[in-house]
Chains A and B, each alone.
Chain A
Amino acid sequence: MQWLWMFCLVSAAFAGCSNDDNAAAMPQVSEELTEEQFEELHAEVIRPEELWLTIPWQTDLLAAQQIAVAEQKPIFIWAMDGHPLGCT
């Protein structure tokens, strides 16, 4: 009952906010997800294979420093707010 009440509230809110131009392109959002929606979205919302992930990133700066010493190469540091490999 609680969810039915919520569903009515949500539907009303969505109706009030809908934009005719956008509505056609918007996915259907409701109280429950169907198996079809699950399969479609699970396949769609995924990071594609990305070129930069072919780079053998270290995640520890000193480990990188030690490899740089051994291989006599400079270090490339990608320093971000949030981990570049995890929050991108």
Chain B
Amino acid sequence: MSTFGDEKTVELIRDEFIPVAIDQWYTRSQEDAEGEFYRRIAAQGPRTDFEQTTQGFYLADAAGNLLGYNNNRHGTPLKRLLIQTANSFNENETFEPIVQDIADERYTRVVPEGTVTVRVNAKILGGYDEPESQWDEIFQNAVSRDNLWILSGEIESLSRGEFPVALATRIARFHLVDNTRGEPVMWRADQVKELEISLSDGLITGNAYLETDDGKRHYRVALRGHVEFEDGRLSRFDIVALGKHFGHGWYTPDPPDGEFPLAVTFRLADGSSVSDSVPPQGTKGWLPQYVELR
């Protein structure tokens, strides 16, 4: 059973806890009240070097006392821990709310005004060997998730029937990636060897070729999609990118051998999912690299 594949586990988290999902790469380093609260909790667990990852599931009370920790991909130990913690939690104990006075700006990502979010999914369509375990099968069939931001000026360009170069560059560098097995390596500007995306009568067509200088990673890809506006509002932004990918990043080992077909799809987010509000992975560490493209 995978971590969240069990209804009872999900029910426990939903009903008995206040669930929060964070990228601990940010939180463990933040010099503000949120960072201090996280480190207070994590320091009681097994991962106390805040220069390294502290990932896992933490159960804590509102004062920051650790009630349990788990980092097992099998769901059963986590469910057991959730039940134990829920049963032993003292509901009568009172705590004080912690207020963030000044957020650490180095780790704050503000969505530029007028930005539209697009859901991005990727999947490897073939090339793997026969799976040897349940986990192989999960990885091999994984559909990744990320968000693309389209900035307000770019939406104006689209409404005029132009596909902005900055948007094409953002898609190529930060979204034409194999993120199906973990955090991907993005493409540097000089690794975009060819890129052409055009818009004509609402139809998007294009091609890109991305390659590292050492030849260890490349992706040659064709794109097709549709853009529509209703009452001046962007109402459709659907794209499919399909091509042959080769290689992997540090956190995405074990792709299929040789070149493999990788598809990436884009569709407007409707705000119905909490993940629609998560900043794109490409903004991680330095927002300008993602939004200040030409």
Partner of B242, one of A37, A62, A75: A37
Instruction: Establish whether residues B263 and A87, one from each chain, have CB atoms under 8 Å apart when the complex forms.
Output: no
Count, chain B residues at interface, CB 8 A: 93
Known pairs A41-B240, A54-B10, A85-B275; A13 contacts B224 (CB<8 A): no
| Bound: A88/B22 CA distance, A | 12
Instruction: Establish whether residues B183 and A32, one from each chain, have CB atoms under 8 Å apart when the complex forms.
Output: no
Instruction: Establish whether residues B58 and A79, one from each chain, have CB atoms under 8 Å apart when the complex forms.
Output: yes
B194 within 8 A of A: yes
The bracket for how many chain A residues form the interface is 35 or more
Which residues of chain B in 144-165 are interfacial with respect to chain A, using CB atoms and an 8 Å cutoff? 144-147
Partner of A58, one of B4, B18, B93, B240: B18
Which residues of chain B in 9-48 are interfacial with respect to chain A, using CB atoms and an 8 Å cutoff? 10, 13-14, 16-25, 27, 33-34, 37-38, 41-42
Partner of A74, one of B14, B42, B59, B264: B59
- List of B residues within 8 angstroms of A29 by Cβ: 222, 242-244, 261
Known pairs A57-B19, A87-B179; A74 contacts B86 (CB<8 A): yes
Which A residues form the contact surface with B (CB < 8 A)?
2-3, 6, 10, 13-14, 17, 19, 22, 25-27, 29-35, 37-38, 41-42, 44-48, 50-88
20 sample A-B contacts, Cβ–Cβ < 8 Å, listed by A number: A3-B207, A13-B244, A25-B126, A33-B205, A34-B224, A37-B224, A38-B238, A45-B264, A57-B19, A72-B94, A73-B17, A73-B89, A73-B91, A75-B60, A76-B58, A78-B19, A79-B22, A81-B251, A83-B22, A86-B275
